[in-house]
Structure 1
């Protein structure tokens, strides 16, 4: 990292989208400052934050005079700006496009399907949980994860044998899938083996493995 560069990341550590960026930063061995924002920390609805990110969401990255939001965009930028020839974000068009589709799939498919299950089991008090609806949410999520399970049947990582941003984006959500309890979930052996590989990475252990909250 250039000596005059200072990365600042706004967002709470238990946000899945912040975790993706933290994981990426750790894989790239980048120094940064993190400022808590969102939910119990507030700040993301204040005028100074909205001036940086009009969506009022997290994370937001500051790199000098650059302000960047959207977690997948932040990860791409970090790889391009500071990753050199990192395999996290391949340079060849076909390989990069293959990674990109999974980043898009995470936002278009995984996040909206995963959210009701996670919020219902982790961020809703037990007395207020609708377990019939949550089992339906788990079944919907299982159907989604079966797609990735089948894909992983012939490879060690989402794209062949190389760990990439696709593994970070999907792995952060897989942490939630494997971590929630109280619903019936099917056995997905290929997904499980892949997740076990991810869970051994120091950056995952530090930023994604802590208890769900």
Structure 2
């Protein structure tokens, strides 16, 4: 059975748990990180002191998007086909997600993890502008195809799908992104997304 370590209010843990459920894998998850801390046994598995980490039949792996690629390759090749161009397109969006996370991080921390009296309007405005600019890039892709790598849901939809929910859940001014909204609406009916990604922001 797959073991996942990490608290579920982490974007990177949400990705991995959603992927496991999308694929249909049995798993057990242990809360690690944040208020749950990290013990020596965990740090022996992941010396970076970050989450998530998985173990699959003795194989230990960390880095969330590497975990997604591994799970797709091992258990769900339909989510990451062997065609090199499809894989390259998936890799592009999976790598791009980290740049998006950087754009969203400060406004997320400001609106979710800091008290109202600590909110900085300049930080919030900057977050609105930068996340909006990047979502325009996603909108342009989704205007041409229903999923990030083409006609079918794939592993590349998981990282940005996780962050898209946060973007919609944050109290931000947003422009009109009809194709992005359509993609999001296709995600929210997926059971693993609804139960693991669409949870309260904390």
TM bin, normalised by shorter chain, reads over 0.9
1:114 corresponds to which residue?
104
The whole-number CA distance in structure 2 between the counterparts of 1:165 and 1:117 is: 26
Q: 1:87 touches 1:163 (CA, 8 Å); kept in 2?
A: no
2:192 corresponds to which residue?
203
2:92 corresponds to which residue?
101
CA root-mean-square deviation? 1.1
1:147 corresponds to which residue?
137
> Could you list the runs of 5+ residues in structure 1 that have no partner in the other structure?
1-5
Q: Does 1:53 align with 2:42?
A: no
Q: 1:11 touches 1:36 (CA, 8 Å); kept in 2?
A: yes
The whole-number CA distance in structure 2 between the counterparts of 1:31 and 1:100 is: 26
Tell me the TM-score normalised to structure 2 length: 0.96
Tell me the TM-score normalised to structure 1 length: 0.91
Q: Does 1:62 align with 2:55?
A: yes
Matches within 5 A, 1:189-200: 189-200=178-189
- Over 4 Å off, 4+ runs: none
The whole-number CA distance in structure 1 between the counterparts of 2:114 and 2:19 is: 29
Q: 2:9 touches 2:201 (CA, 8 Å); kept in 1?
A: yes
Count of residue correspondences: 202
The whole-number CA distance in structure 1 between the counterparts of 2:75 and 2:86 is: 19
| Partner of residue 9 from structure 2, selected from 11, 14, 25 | 14
1:87 corresponds to which residue?
78
The whole-number CA distance in structure 1 between the counterparts of 2:147 and 2:85 is: 16
| Partner of residue 24 from structure 1, selected from 19, 25, 33 | 19
